[in-house]
A and B are shown apart, each in its own frame.
Chain A
């Protein structure tokens, strides 16, 4: 049916690693602060809720995708909705991926600028990032999956090491009492992580490139669970170190938490570890969205190859991420206030409606 634009195939383990890296990358960057600001010491609870929501979303997305074997979201959208409306929705998704990529790019570069190199213009890092993920997208999905196979174990290991090293600074009283948050603020705090878990929608583009598709459900839930473990590790870690008030006030609590580590007056100043975690995982994440956007637009436009689109789209992403938000506070506000509703529309509402349409069509045929 569809032209094979992307030649690579990825196996189950690679998919798992790729999905985990895709979600947790920025999750541990901005989300702990925001979630803690709303849910206080019960932030770990909101991640559990968000995880459940993420599983629901992934079930919808996978169920939908498996109904069209060998096709990406962009290919089966016209088949469900008809050629013209399908393509329009398809372009909305391309926009979503471009936007997500721009956001990830911006988040990382803002972090670097704010935390390490305040004198350097943001745009320098943006271009740096763009070159990187353009090159990665050029190498294709297979290489990206391989990268995540190196980075995820590395990052999970480093994160655990950080957690262990920081234990002398932790106080259990900081996350007590449990269930102290009102249901409303808990729900509010769940939205942002949920929209992150919802990025599992990218699976709708990846699924056709899986070597075997029978275990996708288990695989995805495993991936989401692993993300949950990582985010709980980092959020509970910073909560134990700082308590809810300070965690909610820091822009990058994981970084501040790392700064607290001091073992024997020598194992200290380990900020390089969060930078490594952020940049490596963020690169994979941004690239995956970028790849999805390029592949999607190539498929919608009926091109034989998506590589020529990389450069123009990279330029668009860079300018978008530079222009969208004037400062980091605006970015944060967007991510916490508006983004969840905007993202969840694409991540849950549309796939859900699509699934219903497909189901109605199928029963109609019978």
Chain B
């Protein structure tokens, strides 16, 4: 029963063996000289992979130089492969050569690599592992008989989703593109925004089975010093069979695995990631997922939206404040409602109290049950709204609104005031950055319950503990609540309000200390005669 009193040693997990590595003894092997042998090995490794195509042919119609093309059907661009590899090597090379020019078997490899291929990017290797990885990621491999090396032709081309609007971070004004599932497309999207060699993209495969490409992206000279090393080190620690989504990585490199709060944010907006990089952060792209991790993450990102920076700052400073209030409301509204109604009735204005008391007169549940019931219903509805097949979604919201909002009040099961309190909480949550609200949605329930048991006192103590917890979190070395705690008053210009661009002279001090100044001072537009 008291498991947690036992020493940890007994529970120590057996050291994880690298999954999938056992049967892959060939990973360390090198290519052989003989094409036949190589092909046999490859056939063995790729046995029962019906999508792998082996194509043998002769180089330049020369019977003694056998070539073999290996690629995955569907991943490689078939037109490129047939036109610019096979057609060139077998048909177009002989007429282009002087008659007396003889290509010996020994020269063949260098000749093909240097003169024979019309492929934009090639690479060569002698490692079987690299070869297999290349085939599996869509490259086309060319083996030449008599050479223990292979040419990797980057002629990838597969069906992919086209670039679409962001689904989670919606803006009225601002770029619409969002990331897609293909890593290369994603990096190109970023490169198009930051046309600078300082934008570094370092790719590494993670996942022993899936071999997922993971890219660490940062801007050299801007990124927070030491951050890239730390990110790479944390990534290299990972030994896992599969990485299907960036969420896998998120949990594996998190600073605070036991905290309900996620200290790594994710987004699928290109402009947001670019802005993050420009603030001195690093981004982690995962092949196969449009969601990009940005580190380090600060808590204040929950009230920031890319649109804040594109629209007029007066109004969007107000929106920031509204979001801040919404954040407080979202976490505490049901709890405060319960505490006030069950413990501190003296703190409500008389008229309001009488009105609520009148509504509650016939309600059969205690306030806490009423609130939790409504809150759970709300969460259920929200979940249903997400999971429902699109055509039915409409029906859910209608049913939800009618059944929950109206019928339950009419039936006298809940009081209208409770419906309002819970509905406001729900609405408030939608003003915030979706990724950040998940853990807060969870926190709301214990807070409400504590408020129901010990009133405002318990609520405030719990909030203090919550804030203490948040204040003790760090995301890649940066305090999670920065710049509020530790307080850096100048930084609040981008937290509680959004300062105009001509006043946001510096990057966040802690993150961007490598290259603090964003712009020249004194860019505030002036009438012509005052300009110098």
Contact = CB atoms under 8 A, between A and B. Distances in A.
B67 to A, nearest CB: 64
A276 interface: yes
A139 interface: yes
Given A116-B343, A132-B461, A269-B349, A275 B456 contact: yes
Contacts of B471: 139, 143, 146-147, 150
Contacts of A11: 486
A40 interface: no
Contacts of A272: 344, 347, 456
Contacts of A17: 487
Interface in B473-532: 479, 481, 484-487
**Main SS of chain B's interface residues?**
helix
B465 A132 contact: yes
B357 interface: no
B458 interface: yes
Interface residues on B, range: 20 to 34
Given A128-B454, A266-B349, A272-B456, A139 B461 contact: no
A153 B349 CA distance: 27
B467 interface: yes
B324 to A, nearest CB: 13
B468 interface: yes
A324 B330 CA distance: 41
Contacts of A14: 486-487
Contacts, number: 88
Contacts of B464: 132, 136, 147, 279-280, 283
Nearest to B460: A279
Contacts of B465: 132, 135-136
A278 to B, nearest CB: 9
B472 interface: yes
* Interface SS majority for chain A: helix
B468 A280 contact: no
Contact of B472 (A116, A117, A139, A266): A139
A149 interface: yes
Given A116-B343, A269-B348, A146 B457 contact: no
Categorize the interface residue count of chain A.
Answer: 35 or more
Interface string A1-36: 000000000010110010000000000000000000
A276 B457 CA distance: 9
A125 B457 CA distance: 8
B346 interface: yes
Interface string A140-174: 10010111011001000000000000000000000
B460 A146 contact: no
A248 interface: no
Contacts of B485: 146-147, 149-150
Contact of B479 (A116, A140, A146, A283): A146
Contacts of A124: 454
Contacts of B344: 116, 271-272
Contact of A13 (B351, B455, B484, B487): B487
B457 A136 contact: no
B367 to A, nearest CB: 17
Nearest to A129: B461
A266 B349 CA distance: 6
B462 to A, nearest CB: 9
A209 to B, nearest CB: 14
A268 interface: yes
A279 B481 CA distance: 21
A143 to B, nearest CB: 5
A268 B457 contact: no
A149 B487 CA distance: 6
Contacts of A327: none
Contacts of B481: 146, 150
Contacts of B484: 149-150
Contact of A271 (B347, B351, B472, B487): B347
B342 to A, nearest CB: 11
B486 A146 contact: yes
Nearest to A11: B486
A275 B486 contact: no
A299 B235 CA distance: 39
Contacts of B458: 128
Contacts of A112: 457
A115 to B, nearest CB: 10
Interface in B299-343: 343
A265 interface: yes
B487 A117 contact: no
A283 B485 CA distance: 17
A22 to B, nearest CB: 16
Contacts of B472: 139-140, 143
Contact of B457 (A265, A270, A279): A279
B81 to A, nearest CB: 59
Nearest to A268: B349
B467 A145 contact: no
B474 to A, nearest CB: 11
Nearest to B455: A117
User: Which 4 A-B residue pairs are closest in the complex by CB-CB distance?
Assistant: A146-B485, A149-B487, A139-B472, A146-B471
Interface of B: 343-344, 346-349, 351, 454-458, 460-461, 464-465, 467-469, 471-472, 479, 481, 484-487
Interface of A: 11, 13-14, 17, 112, 116-117, 120, 124-125, 128-129, 132, 135-136, 139-140, 143, 145-147, 149-150, 153, 265-266, 268-272, 275-276, 279-280, 283
19 contacts: A17-B487, A116-B456, A128-B454, A132-B465, A135-B465, A135-B468, A139-B468, A139-B469, A140-B472, A143-B468, A143-B472, A147-B468, A150-B481, A150-B484, A153-B487, A272-B344, A272-B347, A279-B460, A279-B464
Given A128-B454, A149-B484, A271-B344, 15 more contacts: A14-B487, A112-B457, A135-B468, A143-B471, A143-B472, A145-B486, A146-B481, A150-B484, A150-B487, A266-B349, A272-B344, A275-B460, A279-B457, A279-B464, A283-B464
